[in-house]
Amino acid sequence: MSGSAVSVPLGDNSGVLPRRATLIVFAASAIASALISLALGLSPFVWLLFTGLIGLAGITVWSLAVEGRRRALDRVMSVAIMEVFVLAMVPLLSLIYTVVSKGLARFDSEFLTSSMRGVLAEGGGALHAALGTFIITAVATVAAVPVGVLAAIYLVEYGKGRLKRSITFFVDVMMGIPSIVAGLFAFALFAIFFGPGIRLGVMGSVALAVLMIPIVIRSAEEMLRVVPNALREASYALGVPKWLTVLRVVLPTALAGIVTGVMLAVARVIGETAPLLITTGSTTSTNLNPFDGRMANLPVYVYQQYKFPGVPPEPYIERAWAGALLLIVIVMVLFLAARLIARRYGVEIRR
Q: Does 70 bind other proteins (CB under 8 A)?
A: yes
Q: Select the span of 13-21, 49-57, 115-123, 318-326 touching other proteins (CB under 8 A).
A: 318-326
Q: Does 217 bind other proteins (CB under 8 A)?
A: yes
Contact 119, 309 (CB under 8 A): no
Count of H-run helices and E-run strands, the chain? 14, 0
Query: What distance in Å separates the CA atoms of residue 68 and residue 322, rounded to the nearest whole number?
Result: 55
Q: Does 223 bind other proteins (CB under 8 A)?
A: no
Residue 100 burial class via C-beta count within 10 angstroms: exposed 0-12, middle 13-18, buried 19 and up: middle
Q: Does 47 bind other proteins (CB under 8 A)?
A: no
Secondary element (H or E) of residue 326: helix 314-345
Query: What distance in Å separates the CA atoms of residue 171 and residue 149, rounded to the nearest whole number?
Result: 13
| Cβ at position 342, least distance to other proteins in Å | 11
- Kindly tell me which of 151 and 262 has the beta carbon lying closer to other proteins: 151
- Kindly tell me which of 23 and 31 has the beta carbon lying closer to other proteins: 23
Residue from 28, 66, 255, 339 touching other proteins (CB under 8 A): that is 339
Residue from 210, 215, 259, 342 touching other proteins (CB under 8 A): that is 210
Q: Does 105 bind other proteins (CB under 8 A)?
A: no
- Kindly tell me which of 194 and 236 has the beta carbon lying closer to other proteins: 236
Residue from 272, 295, 316, 319 touching other proteins (CB under 8 A): that is 272
Half-sphere CA count of 241, side-chain side, radius 13 A: 2
Residue ranges in 5-34 that form contacts with other proteins under rule CB under 8 A: 9-10
Q: Does 196 bind other proteins (CB under 8 A)?
A: yes
φ, ψ of residue 198 to 5 degrees: the values are -70, 135
Cβ contacts of residue 147 below 8 Å, gap of 6+? 213, 216
Instruction: Kindly determine how many residues on this chain lie close enough to bind other proteins according to the rule CB under 8 A.
Output: 105
Q: Does 233 bind other proteins (CB under 8 A)?
A: yes
The DSSP code sequence of 58-92 is HHHHHHHHHH-HHHHHHHHHHHHHHHHHHHHHHHH
- Kindly tell me which of 31 and 158 has the beta carbon lying closer to other proteins: 158
Q: Angle of helix 161-175 relative to helix 201-225, nearest 10 degrees?
A: 130
CA dihedral 249, 265, 283, 275 (to 10 degrees): -120
Residue from 25, 99, 126, 139 touching other proteins (CB under 8 A): that is 99
Question: 3-class DSSP state for residue 319?
Answer: helix
Residue from 264, 329, 337, 347 touching other proteins (CB under 8 A): that is 264
| Cβ at position 149, least distance to other proteins in Å | 8
Q: Does 71 bind other proteins (CB under 8 A)?
A: yes
Contact 189, 282 (CB under 8 A): no
Residue from 40, 92, 238, 311 touching other proteins (CB under 8 A): that is 92
Q: Does 247 bind other proteins (CB under 8 A)?
A: yes
Of residues 229, 297, 299, 219, the one with CA closest to residue 258: 219
Residue ranges in 319-338 that form contacts with other proteins under rule CB under 8 A: 320-321, 324, 327-328, 331-332, 335
Q: Does 180 bind other proteins (CB under 8 A)?
A: yes
Query: What distance in Å separates the CA atoms of residue 224 and residue 233, rounded to the nearest whole number?
Result: 15
Residue ranges in 127-166 that form contacts with other proteins under rule CB under 8 A: 146-151, 153-160, 163-164, 166
Q: Select the span of 15-23, 108-116, 117-125, 178-186 touching other proteins (CB under 8 A).
A: 178-186
